[in-house]
Homo-oligomer: A and B are copies of this chain.
Amino acid sequence: MTLLTFLDHASVFVFALTGALVASRAQLDIVGFVFIASLTAVGGGTIRDVILNRDTVFWVANPTYIGVAAAAALGVFFTAHLLESRYRAILWLDACALAVAVPAGVAVALTMGQPRAIVVIMGITTGCFGGLMRDVVCNEVPLVLKQGELYVTCALAGAGAALVALAFGLATPLALLICAAATFALRAGSLAFGWRLGVYKAYPPRQ
Contact = CB atoms under 8 A, between A and B. Distances in A.
Interface of A: 23-35, 46, 50-53, 55-57, 60, 63, 66-67, 77, 80-81, 85-87, 114-115, 117-118, 121, 124, 128, 132, 136-139, 141-142, 144-145, 147-148, 150, 152-153, 156, 196-202, 205-207
B197 A24 contact: no
A48 to B, nearest CB: 11
Contacts of A200: 23-24, 27-30, 33, 77, 80
18 contacts: A25-B205, A27-B200, A29-B200, A32-B144, A32-B145, A32-B199, A33-B200, A35-B128, A53-B55, A63-B118, A63-B121, A67-B117, A77-B200, A81-B202, A87-B206, A132-B137, A136-B137, A138-B145
Given A66-B117, A117-B66, A198 B29 contact: yes
A2 B86 CA distance: 49
A198 to B, nearest CB: 6
A117 B201 CA distance: 45
B57 A53 contact: yes
Nearest to A26: B145
Given A57-B51, A138-B145, A207-B85, A29 B156 contact: no
B145 A31 contact: no
A61 B190 CA distance: 34
Nearest to A57: B51
Contacts of A201: 27
Contacts of A139: 141
B51 A51 contact: no
Nearest to A31: B153
A199 B29 contact: yes
Given A27-B147, A53-B55, 9 more contacts: A25-B207, A29-B198, A29-B199, A30-B197, A31-B156, A35-B128, A53-B56, A66-B121, A80-B202
